[in-house]
């Protein structure tokens, strides 16, 4: 393509088409092209190891980590990506790759869904591995798919891989759910403080609970409090983390507000995964930013991983001790912890409320938040739902409405937060249990509707997983992926009932 770059992998693609000069996310064309080069090397490496499903563990983890780095807002550090490319060259014994461009717009659309799904899958698998849970089938699927990616030329085969990607999406979310709950206990109904204390604090952002566990243990006698940010909020729901009295609360809102909210936090900020917003040139917090794992940004201090998998956060803790306490930006608490184990413990109450008509409908509003003004739709939609509807949420999309006072239905809160984006898996488990209880032949017969917000690739793997499980009539917004061709969009409408959002009033009528 005759452009400096071409990136349309996230919901913010310029003009709902593609970023061709500078990424809306903040990456420049040079970084975008390096990421594309890394992607091609992953395909070459995969062709070389595809026929060995047992060996090449180092290469398989390299592929997984590289896919994670490709996620939107994960890694902005060109030197980091160049090092990753150098490693790829050493593995493949290749000094160059040919840029790949799919000419058929329908095949390209399906391949974009597959590649986005692989990135999200890699992120979830990475988190599970950090907790000691690894699945060779997931590794091998990613390798096989990448190895054959450029040779996928017919629609039927591409659609089959889209569905298989969804199947492995379910598998990896189940694995991560097992890893989290085995390590930290099943989430419980919890009121999370959103105010601040009078001690210095460290703000931890991202998704990696293993990093939080190490930080909490290393800081427990330091006189420093730990606050979660954005997708780390659900950590408060796990029994293991409640043992740490210095896990003080959640600070701020969704990821995209960080350039404002980090200014008032006053202490160090640790990124464990994606959702980095490039700090402004005059940001007061620039010298207090740290990154670890697969995320990075130029100028951030790095926390490396040791050979045994541990990390040393002493530098972060030491800096925190020199800082003032966070400035309070809100007070009160928010309630969450409604993952599948907790909700199923309340199954009798939920079922009774459905049977007597108190609960008429569930609306799954999981997914991502973002900067676009039209995302106000989700707050307005949630506020406008009838009083007999329950919102099931996970991911940072919740910040559009989790602080609204929507009340409860006979003691059941009208907003049930399962956790992080991967915890969308909980709604699948719950839906299947309700299908069993009500003896329904089709999961779509349940009074459950899906109104999903997406931003990046982890939302794509969640979407593909839902489609694989046969969930129909999902609304996706605030816009459909820009890489969908008219024909593929029409296919998704005809076979799955997928559609974009309309006005709040129109969609309330659609959902009934």
User: Residue 89: what are its φ and ψ, rounded to 5°?
Assistant: -65, -40
The secondary structure element, H or E, covering residue 351 is helix 347-355
Domains, the chain, in order of start with CATH, read: 14-183 (1.20.1270.20), 190-321 (3.40.50.2030)
In three-state secondary structure terms, 62 is helix
Instruction: Provide the pLDDT for residue 1.
Output: 64
Instruction: Provide the pLDDT for residue 479.
Output: 96
Instruction: Provide the pLDDT for residue 333.
Output: 97
Select from 402, 400, 394 the least CA-distant residue to 424.
394
Count, residues in the chain: 512
Instruction: Provide the pLDDT for residue 2.
Output: 81
DSSP 242: G
Select from 506, 460, 508 the least CA-distant residue to 483.
460
* Joined tokens for residue 122: 């890699």
Instruction: Provide the pLDDT for residue 54.
Output: 86
Instruction: Provide the pLDDT for residue 99.
Output: 86
* Joined tokens for residue 331: 């007070």
Select from 448, 453, 327, 455 the least CA-distant residue to 400.
453
In three-state secondary structure terms, 362 is strand
Instruction: Provide the pLDDT for residue 396.
Output: 98
Name the E strands within 353-421.
361-364, 389-393, 408-409, 412-413, 415-417
DSSP 234: G
Instruction: Provide the pLDDT for residue 78.
Output: 98
pTM of model > 0.85:
yes
Longest pairwise C-alpha distance within the chain: 67
* Residue pair 183/240 in contact by the 8 Å Cβ criterion: yes
Question: Mean pLDDT per segment of 10 residues, for the chain of length 512 residues?
Answer: 92 97 97 98 98 92 98 98 98 94 96 98 98 98 98 96 98 98 98 98 98 98 98 98 98 98 98 97 98 98 95 98 98 97 95 97 97 96 97 98 97 97 95 96 96 98 97 97 96 96 96 81
Measure the CA–CA gap between 227 and 224, rounded to whole angstroms. Answer: 10
Instruction: Provide the pLDDT for residue 407.
Output: 97
In three-state secondary structure terms, 418 is coil
């Amino acid at each position: 393509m005759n452009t400096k770059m071409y990136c349309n992998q996230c919901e913010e693609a310029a003009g709902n088409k593609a970023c061709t000069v500078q990424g809306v996310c903040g990456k420049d064309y040079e970084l975008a092209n390096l990421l594309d080069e890394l992607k091609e090397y992953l395909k070459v490496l995969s062709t070389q190891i595809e026929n060995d499903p047992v060996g090449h563990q180092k290469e398989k983890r390299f592929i997984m980590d590289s896919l994670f780095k490709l996620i939107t807002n994960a890694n902005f550090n060109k030197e980091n990506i160049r090092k990753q490319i150098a490693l790829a060259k050493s593995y493949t014994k290749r000094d160059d790759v040919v840029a790949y461009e799919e000419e058929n717009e329908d095949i390209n659309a399906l391949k974009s869904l597959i590649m986005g799904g692989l990135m999200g899958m890699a992120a979830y698998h990475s988190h599970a591995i950090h907790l000691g849970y690894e699945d060779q089938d997931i590794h091998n699927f990613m390798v096989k798919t990448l190895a054959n990616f450029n040779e996928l030329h017919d629609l039927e085969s591409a659609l089959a891989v889209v569905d298989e990607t969804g199947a492995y999406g379910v598998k990896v979310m189940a694995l991560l759910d097992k890893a989290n709950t085995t390590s930290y206990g099943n989430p419980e109904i919890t009121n999370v403080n959103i105010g601040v204390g009078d001690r210095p604090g460290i703000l931890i952002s991202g998704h990696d609970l293993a990093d939080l566990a190490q930080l909490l243990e290393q800081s427990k006698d330091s006189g420093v409090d730990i606050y979660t940010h954005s997708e780390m909020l659900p950590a408060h729901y796990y029994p293991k983390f409640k043992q740490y009295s210095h896990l003080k609360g959640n600070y701020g809102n969704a990821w995209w507000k960080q350039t404002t909210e980090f200014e008032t936090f006053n202490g160090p900020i640790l990124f464990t995964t994606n959702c980095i917003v490039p700090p402004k040139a005059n940001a007061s917090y620039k010298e207090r930013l740290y990154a670890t794992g697969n995320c990075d940004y130029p100028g951030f201090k790095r926390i490396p991983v040791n050979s045994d998998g541990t990390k040393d956060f002493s530098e972060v803790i030491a800096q925190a001790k020199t800082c003032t306490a966070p400035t309070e930006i809100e007070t009160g608490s928010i309630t969450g912890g409604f993952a599948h184990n907790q909700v199923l413990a309340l199954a009798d109450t939920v079922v009774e409320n459905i049977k007597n008509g108190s609960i008429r409908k569930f609306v799954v509003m999981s997914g991502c938040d973002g900067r676009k003004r039209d995302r106000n739709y989700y707050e307005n939609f949630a506020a406008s739902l009838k009083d007999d509807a329950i919102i099931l949420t996970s991911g940072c999309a919740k910040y559009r409405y989790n602080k609204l006072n929507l009340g409860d239905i006979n003691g059941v809160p009208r907003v049930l937060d399962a956790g992080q984006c991967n915890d969308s898996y909980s709604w699948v488990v719950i839906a299947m249990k309700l299908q069993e209880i009500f003896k329904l032949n089709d999961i779509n017969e349940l009074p459950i509707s899906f109104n999903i917000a997406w931003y990046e690739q982890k939302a794509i793997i969640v979407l593909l997983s839902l489609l694989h499980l046969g969930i129909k009539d999902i609304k996706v917004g605030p816009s459909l992926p820009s890489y969908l061709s008219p024909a593929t969009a029409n296919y998704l409408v005809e076979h799955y009932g997928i559609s974009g959002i309309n006005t709040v009033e129109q969609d309330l009528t659609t959902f009934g």
